[in-house]
Amino acid sequence: MKNFFKEYFNFSKREQNGMLVLIVILIALIGANIFLSVHKSSQKVDFSDFENEIDSFLVFQQTHFDDSELFAFDPNTASREDLLRLGLSPKSVNGIMNYREKGYKFYKPEDITRVRTLKPEEYEVIKDYIVIERQQYSSNFHHNDYRREYGKNDSSQPSELFEFDPNTATIDELERLGFKPWQAENIVKYRSKGGRFKQPSDITKIHGVEADFAESLMPYIKIESAQETASYDIIININTATETDLQMLKGIGAAYSKRIIDYRNKLGGFVAVEQVREVYGMTDELYNSILPHLKVGDEPVRTININKADFKTLVSHPYIDKNIANSILNYREFAKTIKSTDELVKQKAISRDELDKISMYISVE
């Protein structure tokens, strides 16, 4: 056995030194591997850039209606800044701008739902504030383009059938019946120049109205006589009227009556009949036709206590924008208590014109 070990485990000095070097290298490698493992496990992975990208992505898609400013706007002309002020997400705003850049137009409020990035909940918030400026369509506007863009059927087929008087029907009602926008405007222009439809067939006198289309409407045309029109003397108190009451007026349907009452609630009550003109979508023609039948009673309006109201409460009023609300709040913080509304003007918090407009709707106690 001794000879065995001596034969196989007897190393020269050079071999011993080599083995020593190898052992040192092996120990160094093992030690380095252990050190790197411990050091790597103690390091924190920095996800901040990734998290920032996620935050940016969420902000891009996030609406901000809580601090938005709702106002009437035309989606065909509104700027990017205006659309963002409404509370729409940047993603939806980009979608609207891209839609317009491709040459498409919005012809009625619901057309904006064609923008795929616009969420249904966004449309529900802004739909009552969409006011699309009427445009005169040229005679060479291709019918297929109209059908594709406006979304109506061939003009030979009405869109929605109901009784109407062409002497009093509004543009909105005429378009619902299937008239093209420029045809509806031609009817209104004909009336504004003193023209009157005396019998249903007179509708064919309007340039561009197809005979087949006019024929399909004949059973629904109900023309009131001049005597019937003169006896139309109903008077409605717009501060107490219900939707049903308002719909007794010619040209006021379910949509208009709801808007009038919604606006009355936002104001806190009407103080003048002229405020009905401010209702979203109200045309000069319709307003002038119902004006003789409207009145304002002596009911008190609902006021906002500017010594207690917060920013959201103030800007919820149609006459108080962000600048006025901030001015009132900043002055209140300085003065602690606002003793009179005139104090706001004397201390130059707001202008006299601004106070005159909101004075009936604010109080100090």
User: CB neighbours of 75 closer than 8 A, spacing ≥ 6?
Assistant: 83, 96, 100, 106, 111, 112, 130, 132
Q: Do 338 and 331 form a contact (C-beta atoms < 8 A)? A: yes
Are the beta carbons of 170 and 251 closer than 8 angstroms? yes
Residues 327 and 323: their CA atoms lie apart, in Å, by: 6
Question: What is the model's pLDDT at position 147?
Answer: 41
pLDDT, one tens digit per residue, over 153-195 is 344 455 678 888 888 888 888 888 888 888 888 888 777 666 7
| pTM for this predicted structure | 0.42
- Find out whether 63 and 84 touch, Cβ atoms under 8 Å: no
Higher pLDDT, 141 or 73: 73
pLDDT in tens, 272-312: 999 999 999 888 888 998 999 999 988 999 999 999 999 99
Residue 85 phi/psi, 5-degree rounding, is -60, -30
pLDDT 10s digits, 213-270: 888 888 889 887 644 443 356 889 999 999 988 988 888 888 889 999 999 999 999 9
- Distance in angstroms (rounded) separating the CA atoms of residues 302 and 298: 13
Q: What is the pLDDT of residue 340?
A: 93
Span 22-56, pLDDT tens digits: 888 989 888 888 877 776 655 555 555 555 555 55
For the chain, the average pLDDT equals 81
Q: How far apart are CA 29 and CA 31, in angstroms?
A: 5
Q: Measured between alpha carbons, how far is 167 from 183 in angstroms, rounded to an integer?
A: 14
Helix (H) or strand (E) holding 218: none
Q: How far, in Å, CA of 273 to CA of 119, rounded?
A: 37
The pLDDT of residue 143: 40
